Amino acid sequence: MNVARKSRASANHIYLEYYLGGKDKPPILKEESWINDDGKVTRYSLAYIDPLVSPKDNGRLLGYDNAHGRHHRHFMGVESSYEFRGYDDLLSRFYEEVAALRRRYGA
Q: What is the tens place of the pLDDT at every residue in 73-86?
A: 999 999 999 999 99
For residue 47, how many other CB atoms are within 10 A of its CB? 22
For residue 31, how many other CB atoms are within 10 A of its CB? 17
Distance of CA 104 to the CA centre of its chain: 18
Q: What is the tens place of the pLDDT at every residue in 21-40?
A: 766 677 899 999 999 999 89
One-letter amino acid of 4:
A
Q: What is the pTM of this model?
A: 0.86
